[in-house]
């Protein structure tokens, strides 16, 4: 059975699961259906359903970080995937969460790395963010973590939405729109080499716009300056500096799960990691026990996560 067929089978089995007597329902909030995060969540849920005695799980496609934070805080999700820059702002009550901090967030483990990637058509004349002035720019779904990042990047280079023609679009829609000539460029927050980006760069000539200014990283410390290697995409023949952040699995005090249930879920997930790590190349490369505590600083871990990963010999984040 190929990966696509496996995912479909997982979806069918997860959506028909109902908790048995004494079991608790756990809903995992992921992201859009393209990329690595949704199939990873589905596969994790199926692993829990096969092995956990106290929890039956399902995974839901969501609008991403901001929606997952809201649903976590309301207790409608038990686990949810959130970009750590968005989670940091939510927990500290800064940025988009000024005056409305979400102190209920608790970290579990890191998943894939997410890169801010700025694409333009190869013949567009756009060589830096400032060149987007007067251009048609995809900025992501409205209110999403990616859209917030796009706004922050534009502002750092002296632009606002009034200086460009912003297009609020889902990730896959932006890649199609750039190819069709409906956009001059777009700002996307996504794992490297995700399916929509690979398809676009294989069939259309693009360029990546670097973010090398150290001042941006000083102002936004939840991003690290990372390098997109040569050959990551067709036509990328030199290293490109880009901001990167970690996508982290969180829970909250409103989850309704006991510490023992969270501990059992973590144990089940990681002791059977081979069942879900192959669902996507980015998951296999980045979502490992050894990397589970990287990029989680600034938000407290759930007590069960502290216990589990300490027992595994990992250093916990500050």
CA-to-CA dists, residue 281 to 18, 115, 200, angstroms: 30, 15, 18
d(CA 317, CA 302): 12
Indicate the domain borders of the chain.
3-111+247-311, 115-245
115-245: same fold as 3-111+247-311? yes
Correct CATH for 115-245 of 3.40.190.10, 3.40.50.620, 3.90.110.10, 3.40.1710.10: 3.40.190.10
Q: How confident is the model at residue 9 (pLDDT cuts 50, 70, 90)?
A: very low
In this predicted structure, the answer to whether residue 10 has a pLDDT above a threshold of 60 is no
Which position has the higher pLDDT, 35 or 24? Answer: 24
Q: What is the pLDDT of residues 38-53, one digit of tens each?
A: 999 999 999 999 999 8
CA-to-CA dists, residue 141 to 44, 62, 114, 187, 188, angstroms: 26, 12, 16, 11, 10
Q: What is the pLDDT of residues 44-82, one digit of tens each?
A: 999 999 999 889 999 999 988 889 999 999 999 999 999
Which position has the higher pLDDT, 111 or 9? Answer: 111
Domain spanning 3-111+247-311: CATH 3.40.640.10: no
**What's residue 288's pLDDT?**
96
Q: pTM of the predicted model, to two decimals?
A: 0.73
Helices 65-73, 145-156: inter-axial angle, 10-degree rounding: 130
Query: Half-sphere exposure of 174 toward its Cβ, with a 13 Å CA cutoff?
Result: 30
Q: What is the mean pLDDT of residues 164-186?
A: 95
Q: Name the least confident of 74-78, 157-161, 226-230.
A: 226-230
| Chain-centroid distance, C-alpha 54 | 27
Q: Quick check: 305 and 261 in contact, CB under 8 A?
A: no
182 Cβ contact partners less than 8 Å away, ≥ 6 residues apart: 136, 167
């Amino acid at each position: 059975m190929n990966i696509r067929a496996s995912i479909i089978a997982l979806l069918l089995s997860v959506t028909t699961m109902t908790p048995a007597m004494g079991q608790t329902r756990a809903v995992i909030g992921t992201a859009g259906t393209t990329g690595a995060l949704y199939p990873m969540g589905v596969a994790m849920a199926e692993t829990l359903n096969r092995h956990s005695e106290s929890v039956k799980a399902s995974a839901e496609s969501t609008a991403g970080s901001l929606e997952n934070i809201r649903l976590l805080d309301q207790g409608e999700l038990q686990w949810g995937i959130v970009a750590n820059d968005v989670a940091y702002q939510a927990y500290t009550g800064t940025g988009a969460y000024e005056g409305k901090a979400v102190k209920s967030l608790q970290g579990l483990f890191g998943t894939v790395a997410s890169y801010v990637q700025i694409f333009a058509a190869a013949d567009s004349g756009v060589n830096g963010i400032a060149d987007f002035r007067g251009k048609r720019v995809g900025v992501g779904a409205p209110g999403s973590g990616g859209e917030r990042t796009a706004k922050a990047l534009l502002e750092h280079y002296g632009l606002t939405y009034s200086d460009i023609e912003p297009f609020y679009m889902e990730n896959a829609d932006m890649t199609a729109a750039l190819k069709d000539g409906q956009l001059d460029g777009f700002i996307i927050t996504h794992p490297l080499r995700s399916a929509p980006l690979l398809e676009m760069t294989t069939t259309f000539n693009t360029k990546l716009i670097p973010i090398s200014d150290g001042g941006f990283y000083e102002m936004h410390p939840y991003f690290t300056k990372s390098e997109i290697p040569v050959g990551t995409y067709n036509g990328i023949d030199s290293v490109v500096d880009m901001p990167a952040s970690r996508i982290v699995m969180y829970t909250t005090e409103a989850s309704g799960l006991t510490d023992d249930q969270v501990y059992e879920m973590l144990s089940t997930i990681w002791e059977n990691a081979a069942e879900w790590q192959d669902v996507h190349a980015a998951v296999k490369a980045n979502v490992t026990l050894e990397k589970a505590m990287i990029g989680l600083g600034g938000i407290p871990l759930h007590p069960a996560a502290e216990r589990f990963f300490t027992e595994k010999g990992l250093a916990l984040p500050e």
